[in-house]
Amino acid sequence: MSFLSKYLDEPKIAYFSMEIGLKDDIPTYSGGLGILAGDTIKSAADLNLPFVAVTLMHRKGYFTQDFDETGYQLSKDVIWDPARYMTLAPAKVSIRLEGRTVYVAAWTYIVESLRGGSLPVFFLDTDIPENSAEDRELTHHLYGGDNLYRIKQESILGIAGVRMLKELGFTVKKYHMNEGHASFLTLELLHERKKDIESVWDESLIWDFDSVKELCVFTTHTPVEAGHDKFTYDIYHRVLGEYFPEKVIRWLAGDEHLNMTLLALNLSNYVNGVAKKHGEVSQNMFPGYRINAITNGVHSYTWTNEHFKRLYDKYIPGWANEPEIFVRVETVPDEAIWNAHQDAKTDLINYVNTHCNADMDVNTLTIGFARRFATYKRANLLFTDIDRLVKIAGGRVQFVFAGKAHPKDEGGKKLIQNIFSYARELKGKLKLAFIKNYKMDIGLMLSTGVDVWLNNPLRPLEASGTSGMKSTHNGVPNFSVLDGWWIEGHIEGYTGWSIGPAPTEIEPDESMNKIDADDLYNKLENVIIPTYYNDKKKWIFIMKNTIGKNAYYFNTHRMMRRYVTEAYIR
Ligand SMILES: *Cc1c(COP(=O)(O)O)cnc(C)c1O
């Protein structure tokens, strides 16, 4: 009997994700994809679903962010000890990579729901004595290294992951691939179900595609063609050799490249994008496949700060496991909402004053922006016209930024450096702070402690976005480009404000920067600043709507119930 026995009693939904963000000090995530995975798992535990999850250990994390004196991002390995949180599972599996046998262990983290449910998450680890020094590093760095490193990691996730669950004694009724990184699992499943037919005319007849498709669910997250993982067949051969006949893979994953998205699309009976708009964009990108849409959410209990937790416990008890109760937010007195928010804001302002020497105060309208610094997120759209910005916002608005750029993304790092130089240049005219090392604890404090949450990506490149949903759980309105989830959550002047024109299908181009920046300045000047300072009643009305109309819907409990009814049980 092992500590896993109690999880082996019924067939599971097995959720595979290259990154999973469960808590702040388990640094195995880089951003939205990982946080979504963690929130998914927590809701699955709360709802007592038969669920297990598989990811990689990422012993050195994504990275810890610091800056030199010019604001240039420096990245360091994260130092953490898995044994503090996890137990080694009683099994090891192996996989052939580059002709060598690589052994894979799994650490188990048990997610415990406050409702009594629990489920295991397996962190695959090659850093064990059986392996060569080189292979021990394969599970060190999330999104590190080159394509060769990536395809090995994806082989471990997909192939060794399936083997590990089997070795541990799990039966699986659905495999859910969270993004294409995991799609090699389909090949392993084809191997498992290979038909025992002798002397066939057509080699492909031995592969039971239909039964694998029945088992697989695929969620795509990337609305740009270039964002999908592709490998050359040279690299595939170098790493996986004769693991799977090339003729068949070319048929399943593309002739030119091995396209991980295509592989998942071809072997999943249910495919979805992560917001309605993203479903449509993906449908256009992949004609011939049926792409559904299940809009993302956030785990309500995780992303509600302590002040709002106390407030909700008092006025709308039961909210955490039944976020639909947010519809009753009208029963909370205005002053109580305002006070809870001011308390959360005080926490944030104290933090930026202590850590960023920001000299901010709690009565000034505070706008927050935190993202991965990918260029399409346009972190410096706000600075399109600096004179105008200072004229509108100087003395009346203070801005707090955070976010990491991928260590190899010089463009993203440049964007951060720009913000540091604006902060210096505008000293005395406009208050700007940059909080370093954006991670879950900072995300909670920042996205729930500001007065307005700003988001201005280039349409239609934001698949969903989730940080704005965290804000809504804490009465913070969004001010955002109409893309991703906000198309569904936005009601102008009720739940927040839009930036720029209604959603369009056009190819993103530079001219949209000016249009969006203009609208951003206009609304800030004519709507948001006057409402905040002159019409507190209206402001609190909007705060309540963010809770009753947005948090009510954009949570992972609702999302998981939809995955169950639309993807898992069909
Ligand atoms: C929520 C969160 C994200 C994702 O935010 P998006 O709005 O999807 O960009 C990324 N990083 C951290 C630390 C978060 O908490």
Give the phi and the psi of residue 231 in degrees, each rounded to 5: -125, 150
Q: Say which residues have a Cβ less than 8 Å from residue 98's Cβ, sequence separation at least 6.
A: 152, 238, 239
Task: Give the mean model confidence (pLDDT) for residues 171-185.
Answer: 98
312 and 292 belong to one structural domain: no
Task: Give the mean model confidence (pLDDT) for residues 454-469.
Answer: 94
The token duo for 170 is 């799990």
Distance CA 424, CA 464 (A): 33
Q: Residues 348-402: pLDDT tens digits? A: 999 999 999 999 999 999 999 999 898 889 999 999 999 999 999 999 999 999 9
Closest alpha carbon to 438 in 126, 31, 28, 85: 31
Q: Is 317 helix (H, G, I), strand (E, B) or coil?
A: coil
336 and 293 belong to one structural domain: no
353 and 284 belong to one structural domain: no
Task: Give the mean model confidence (pLDDT) for residues 483-492.
Answer: 97
Terminal-to-terminal C-alpha distance of the chain? 33
Is 560 inside any structural domain?
Answer: no
Ligand 1 centre from 194 Cα, in Å?
A: 41
293 and 310 belong to one structural domain: no
Query: What was the pLDDT predicted at 506?
Result: 65
Ligand 1 centre from 370 Cα, in Å?
A: 7
Residue 157: pLDDT over 70: yes
Ligand 1 centre from 35 Cα, in Å?
A: 7
Residue 487: pLDDT over 90: yes
In the chain, how many domains are there? 2
- Which CATH number characterizes residue 250's domain? 3.40.50.2000
In 254-327 the beta strands, taken as DSSP E runs, fall at 258-259, 270-273, 292-293
Query: What was the pLDDT predicted at 40?
Result: 98
Distance CA 472, CA 475 (A): 5
Q: What is the DSSP string of 419-485?
A: HHHHHHHTTTTSEEEEESS--HHHHHHHHHHSSEEEE-PPTT--S---HHHHHHTTT--EEEES-TT
334 and 466 belong to one structural domain: yes
Pick the residue whose CA is nearest to atom 11 on ligand 1.
31
DSSP code for 492: B
Which of 297, 318, 350 finishes a domain?
A: 297
**221 falls in which pLDDT band (50, 70, 90)?**
very high
Task: Give the mean model confidence (pLDDT) for residues 33-54.
Answer: 98
Share of the chain above pLDDT 90, in %: 91
Q: Residues 37-46: pLDDT tens digits? A: 999 999 999 9
Query: What was the pLDDT predicted at 200?
Result: 63
| Binding-site residues, ligand 1, Cβ < 6 A | 31-32, 35, 371, 438-440, 443, 465-467, 470
| Residue from 35, 378, 481 to probe ligand 1 pocket by mutation (most atoms less than 8 Å from CB) | 35
**What domain range is 335 assigned to?**
306-554
Query: What was the pLDDT predicted at 223?
Result: 87
530-541 burial, b if ≥16 CB within 10 A, otherwise e?
A: ebbeeeeeebbe
45 and 136 belong to one structural domain: yes
Length of the chain (residues): 570
| Residue from 466, 474, 555 to probe ligand 1 pocket by mutation (most atoms less than 8 Å from CB) | 466
91-130 burial, b if ≥16 CB within 10 A, otherwise e?
A: bbbebebeeeebbbbbbbbebebeeebebbbbbbbbbeee
Q: Residues 532-549: pLDDT tens digits? A: 999 999 999 999 999 999
Fill in the amino acid letter for 496: G
**DSSP H stretches of helix in 286-374:** 306-315, 334-355
Is 180 inside any structural domain?
Answer: yes
Mean pLDDT over all residues of the chain?
95
Residue 199: pLDDT over 60: no
Q: Residues 549-566: pLDDT tens digits? A: 999 999 999 999 999 999
Q: Residues 269-308: pLDDT tens digits? A: 999 999 999 999 999 999 999 999 999 999 999 999 999 9
CB 344 within 8 A of CB 307: yes
Distance CA 568, CA 562 (A): 9
510 and 442 belong to one structural domain: yes
Sheet holding 365-370, edge to edge: 431-435, 397-402, 365-370, 452-455, 478-481, 496-499
Task: Give the mean model confidence (pLDDT) for residues 141-147.
Answer: 94
Residue 502: pLDDT over 90: no
DSSP code for 548: I
Is 5 inside any structural domain?
Answer: no
Pick the residue whose CA is nearest to atom 5 on ligand 1.
467
The token duo for 336 is 């109580």
Distance CA 171, CA 296 (A): 27
CB 28 within 8 A of CB 57: yes
Ligand 1 centre from 255 Cα, in Å?
A: 35
Atom of ligand 1 nearest to the CA of 32: 4
Please confirm whether the linkage preceding 477 is cis (ω < 30° from 0). no
482 and 523 belong to one structural domain: yes
Is 389 inside any structural domain?
Answer: yes
The token duo for 267 is 């072997």
Q: Residues 432-459: pLDDT tens digits? A: 999 999 999 999 999 999 999 999 999 8
Fill in the amino acid letter for 501: P
Share of the chain above pLDDT 70, in %: 98
Is 17 inside any structural domain?
Answer: yes
- Per the DSSP assignment, residues forming a β-bridge with 56 are 124
415 and 357 belong to one structural domain: yes
Is 126 inside any structural domain?
Answer: yes
Ligand 1 centre from 462 Cα, in Å?
A: 12
Is 129 inside any structural domain?
Answer: yes
Residue 154: pLDDT over 60: yes
Say if pTM beats, i.e. exceeds, 0.85: yes
Is 2 inside any structural domain?
Answer: no
377 and 490 belong to one structural domain: yes
275 and 382 belong to one structural domain: no
Any idea of the CA torsion for 351, 354, 357, 358, to the nearest 10 degrees? 30
Query: What was the pLDDT predicted at 1?
Result: 61
Q: Say which residues have a Cβ less than 8 Å from residue 212's Cβ, sequence separation at least 6.
A: 186, 189, 190, 193, 267
Ligand 1 centre from 211 Cα, in Å?
A: 36
Ligand 1 centre from 340 Cα, in Å?
A: 23
**509 falls in which pLDDT band (50, 70, 90)?**
confident
